[in-house]
Amino acid sequence: MAISLGFVTGARSDYGLTRKLLSELSNDSDFEVYIYVTGLHLLDKYGYTINEIMGDGHNIKKAISTYTEDGRNKVYEFTTTVDKVYRALSNENLDAVYIVGDRIEAYASALAAHFLGIPIVHYAGGQITKGAVDNIYRYNISNLASIHLTTCKSAFERLRNNYPIESENVYLVGSTAVDAIFEYKKNPQPISEVFPVLKQGNFALMTFQPVTKSEEPIAALMDSSIKKILKYKVKVLVTYPNNDTGSEEIIKIIQRHQKNDNVIVSKSLGAAGYYTTLDNCSFVIGNSSSGIVEAPYFSKPVLNIGTRQEGRDKDVCVNDIEPQGKQVEQAIENGFKKEWPQCSCNHIYGTGNSIKKIKKILVANFRRSYTRANGL
């Protein structure tokens, strides 16, 4: 009998990481896949990215609206997500719920599954991001989970040594994003098919997220970075932030610059579009986790600004820059002087076989549980 898995996705970031895995599991007779869409996916302000999920051909079990467009009342959003996800899952006969990462809707969904007694598979636990409150959510999800799928060696070791987590249920699988990147590279897409106004190697890819645990002038740094880059006669492709506290300031900067023909703005590039832009940009700048995990696999130099990703394992491609205007502008200037040379990837987050490992782990744990429960 097939293993019944519920996937809760609340943002473009976790869906992008899970996209290829979902596709493979959906076409595997060992699994029945149910997708529950919530969070930012259902907001116009952030691109209404549920359309990407449907465009990939997935049947959505339920769309669970829990967020407001202004995103100011985090307590309401959190408690509403717990309540609505609980009710959505309560009538299902799921073997497990698959939770990705550390966002607030992921934590709320994990709590809902926990109170329903549904085993939780947690992907990407054990990591550290000192500049974000996500650290708290990630740790709490790990404590609620039954199976732990880690993306790098340090996260694996950290969880194995973290009481009360059972070390035998912690697995090192690498990042599923790497599987998707290797697949993309078999048939890369020209940047002109995504953004006709962009040319290979003549634009910077920029994503700034709010910093929730320290006071850093991220919006001001983004503003000055755009101005500095434009002086070198290259374009800037800017993607929208998430809805964490402080996102409104970043969005105001984006809206201020999008009138400039050399600043291209995208609320959501989609997984495939994002890899195309990574493949064709000259460098990456901002403080997003994609700059840490995915950009090095395209050999792109990364300017990682501030403390948001402090504590993560970083490739040699990643350059940590203090969140101060002079340091950021100097780093941009130095990069242009060196013409943004490509760098070698250290493959910290895997070598492209994560999905195969995950499928094997899921079958070993949940097929065994099913057969024991039914006396088989």
For residue 272, the model assigns a pLDDT of: 84
Helical axes 270-280 vs 12-26, angle rounded to 10°: 110
Q: Based on the domain organization, do 227 and 133 belong to the same domain?
A: no
Instruction: Please report which residue ranges of 69-115 form alpha helices under DSSP H.
Output: 74-90, 104-115
The answer to the question of residue 344 being in a domain is no
For residue 373, the model assigns a pLDDT of: 44
CATH of the domain at 234: 3.40.50.2000
The answer to the question of residue 345 being in a domain is no
**Mean pLDDT, range 2-18, rounded to an integer:** 95
Q: Based on the domain organization, do 31 and 164 belong to the same domain?
A: yes
Q: Based on the domain organization, do 152 and 256 belong to the same domain?
A: no
**Mean pLDDT, range 174-179, rounded to an integer:** 97
Confidence of residue 353 (pLDDT cuts 50, 70, 90): very high
pTM assigned to the model: 0.94
Residues 6+ positions from 153 with CB-CB distance below 8 Å = 172, 313, 348
**Overall domain count for the chain:** 2
Q: Based on the domain organization, do 98 and 25 belong to the same domain?
A: yes
Q: Based on the domain organization, do 306 and 210 belong to the same domain?
A: yes
Contact between 237 and 195 under an 8 Å Cβ cutoff? The reply is: yes
Contact between 11 and 41 under an 8 Å Cβ cutoff? The reply is: yes
Q: Based on the domain organization, do 92 and 112 belong to the same domain?
A: yes
The answer to the question of residue 290 being in a domain is yes
The answer to the question of residue 347 being in a domain is no
**Residue 370: pLDDT over 70:** no
Q: Based on the domain organization, do 204 and 281 belong to the same domain?
A: yes
For residue 375, the model assigns a pLDDT of: 40
- Mean pLDDT, the chain, rounded, equals 94
For residue 368, the model assigns a pLDDT of: 56
Q: Based on the domain organization, do 30 and 136 belong to the same domain?
A: yes
The answer to the question of residue 333 being in a domain is yes
Q: Based on the domain organization, do 331 and 366 belong to the same domain?
A: no
Q: Based on the domain organization, do 125 and 86 belong to the same domain?
A: yes
Residue 6: strand pairing partners: 34, 97
How many other CB atoms are there within 10 angstroms of residue 347's CB atom?
13
Helical axes 12-26 vs 354-362, angle rounded to 10°: 70
Q: Based on the domain organization, do 168 and 194 belong to the same domain?
A: no
% of the chain beyond a pLDDT of 70: 98
For residue 371, the model assigns a pLDDT of: 45
Residue 292: strand pairing partners: none
For residue 134, the model assigns a pLDDT of: 83
**Mean pLDDT, range 160-181, rounded to an integer:** 95
The answer to the question of residue 313 being in a domain is yes
The answer to the question of residue 15 being in a domain is yes
Q: Based on the domain organization, do 193 and 330 belong to the same domain?
A: yes
The answer to the question of residue 119 being in a domain is yes
Tell me the per-residue pLDDT of 194-224, one tens digit each, with 9 for 90 and over.
999 999 999 999 999 999 877 899 999 999 9
* Residues of the domain holding 306: 184-337
